Structure 1
Amino acid sequence: MTLTPTEISAFIRDGYVAVPRAFPRELAERCRAILWQALGLDPGRPETWTRPVVRLDRFAGPFAEAANTERLTRAYDQLVGPGRWLPPGALGTFPVRFPSDADPGDAGWHIDVSFGTETPDFMQWRANICSKGRALLMLFLFSDVGPDDAPTRLRAGSHRDIARRLAPAGEAGLTLGELAANDFDESAQREERVATGLAGTVFLCHPFLVHAAQPHRGTRPRFMAQPPLLPREPLQLERADGDHAPVEIAIREALGLA
């Protein structure tokens, strides 16, 4: 078993769990070399790092290997349910963050919406109460991330606030623009935590968790992927057999169904 009962309870309560050593450190180093090549920048020449953030797309090969370790696939089963998720074939997007005094321009609180993405206006992308198109949000650390290295900020327990916000909208859900209209004020009083850890750590997050980027105040670039875990079947809040996975239990508890 990868996750203990205490960790699973923490996921339901807080909306995330950290999995240290989810994939080998040497694999993180191999992947990081590929990302440096894709960036076209010199890791030994900080003067070439002129932008606060550069986004890279999806990568397969060793990245898929990192996403499908036995340690992680067991955790996917524990949080989403055996047979209810699709093995990741690649990882992305990579917001590579560099030490900079400049505003990265993308540090606002949000959730990662998951359908309606055929429109080019990302503020029109949507989420609904069954998290159509996303079983988990995942944060893969491919470099060591300390407090100064632009760790992702997490509002612990905010997934419950978003569940209550989405429930009245039913299957159609809400757009990111609608969700962000109040600056996610319903979760503003939640405790703020940060996704720090050694390379090879993965944060498995509830799809409704409110999170945000921040400027990089350290000395070495931060390499992280933030892919979804795709569902094989939709989340279900009313299962006839009562076999709800923790990702569903968190929503049910927020709505007073459990």
Structure 2
Amino acid sequence: MNEILSKQQISDFINHGFVRIDKAFSKATAEKAVDILWGDLPCDRHDPATWTEPVIRLGMYTQRPFIDSVNSPHLHRIFDQLIGTDRWVRCQSVGTFPVRFPSEKNPGDTGMHVDASFPGTDPDNYMEWRVNVKSKGRALLMLVLYSDVSEADAPTIIRQGSHLDVARLLEGAGDAGMSFMELASQLSESSLREEVFATGEAGTIYLCHPFLAHAAQAHEGSQPKFMAQPALLLKGELSVDGEGSGRAPVVEAVRLALGR
């Protein structure tokens, strides 16, 4: 396999829980995506007085600019490198968009959390979706920037290294795992971890370990922030107990956390 990520980047992913990919897609693609999103927003692109809410959520997006942004041959080779060849599912959607606007209002969704990956007893209740130590169904969390994001523009807060703490929390929960809310309530385990901001130019993607704790924050800038946070789906689940060399970095991070 023609590898793209350096040994240092792989080490950072295993130990810190993420790797930043600059220029993962073009600004032209980002602009086409943002044009589509503005067409669906109930406010005027050119009149900040109409930006009255701190966050507006838009539906699932499957149009060409969105799909192209996360499906380049370059990215696919990185997915192979982090997860393993034929272990992940090509993205068919970038999911919903929480579009964030400059506002003094509390957005009400800034809690630290780990994204869940498979349904509980009620598939329609996302708060009861679950995560297990084998990361059933989810290979990566992706933070995909379609607008330039500075520290003032509500960048996602990443709790560096928290995926290691989360893996240890999940180990005792077995295959059933923990619900989204149950796990979120126990993230004080990682509260002393360094926090970094997911900033960058439009076209930047942060590829994050599925157990990485992260949070939204209020927008203190001047222009709306457009970012998708789709899952890269996993074929099956991680094999964290397997023997042998050459294990994928997404698995090695879990094994590191569990002392295997």
Q: TM-score, normalised by structure 2?
A: 0.95
Matched, 1:95 2:98: yes
- Partners of 2:4 and 2:95 lie apart in 1 by 24
- 1:138 is displaced (CA, Å) by 0.3
- Aligned positions, number: 256
Amino acid at match of 2:114: I
1:207-246 map, 5 Å:
207-246=210-249
- Partners of 2:46 and 2:189 lie apart in 1 by 44
2:184 paired residue among 161, 166, 180: 180
- Partners of 1:167 and 1:240 lie apart in 2 by 18
Does the CA contact (< 8 Å) of 1:95 and 1:224 recur in 2?
yes
Q: What's the Cα RMSD here?
A: 1.2
Matched, 1:164 2:168: yes
Q: 1:33 — aligned with what?
A: 35
2:44 paired residue among 31, 42, 45: 42
Provide the identity percentage: 50
Name the SS of the counterpart of 1:204 in structure 2: strand
1:197 paired residue among 196, 200, 209: 200
- 1:133 is displaced (CA, Å) by 1.3
Matched, 1:145 2:149: yes
Q: 1:12 — aligned with what?
A: 14
Name the SS of the counterpart of 2:165 in structure 1: helix
- Partners of 2:68 and 2:132 lie apart in 1 by 30
- Partners of 1:120 and 1:83 lie apart in 2 by 29
1:111-126 map, 5 Å:
111-116=114-119, 118-126=122-130
- 1:241 is displaced (CA, Å) by 4.3
Does the CA contact (< 8 Å) of 1:156 and 1:190 recur in 2?
yes
Does the CA contact (< 8 Å) of 1:114 and 1:134 recur in 2?
yes
CA offset digits 1:157-191 (Å, max 9, x no partner): 00000000000111010112221234x10000000
Runs in 1 of length 4+ with deviation above 6 angstroms? none
Name the SS of the counterpart of 1:65 in structure 2: helix
Amino acid at match of 1:179: L
Does the CA contact (< 8 Å) of 1:130 and 1:235 recur in 2?
yes
- 1:93 is displaced (CA, Å) by 1.9
Amino acid at match of 1:244: R
Is 42-51 or 112-121 further displaced after alignment? 112-121
Matched, 1:23 2:29: no
Q: 1:3 — aligned with what?
A: 5
Amino acid at match of 2:171: A
Is 69-78 or 149-158 further displaced after alignment? 69-78
Amino acid at match of 1:141: L
2:55 paired residue among 41, 53, 56: 53
- 1:242 is displaced (CA, Å) by 3.5
Structure 2 gap segments, 5+ residues each? none
CA offset digits 1:122-146 (Å, max 9, x no partner): 3211100001111000000000000
- Partners of 1:242 and 1:174 lie apart in 2 by 29
Name the SS of the counterpart of 1:95 in structure 2: strand
- Partners of 1:65 and 1:98 lie apart in 2 by 25
Name the SS of the counterpart of 1:64 in structure 2: helix
Name the SS of the counterpart of 1:169 in structure 2: coil
Name the SS of the counterpart of 2:138 in structure 1: coil
- Partners of 1:7 and 1:238 lie apart in 2 by 24
Amino acid at match of 1:164: R
Amino acid at match of 1:138: M
Does the CA contact (< 8 Å) of 2:136 and 2:236 recur in 1?
no
Name the SS of the counterpart of 2:147 in structure 1: coil
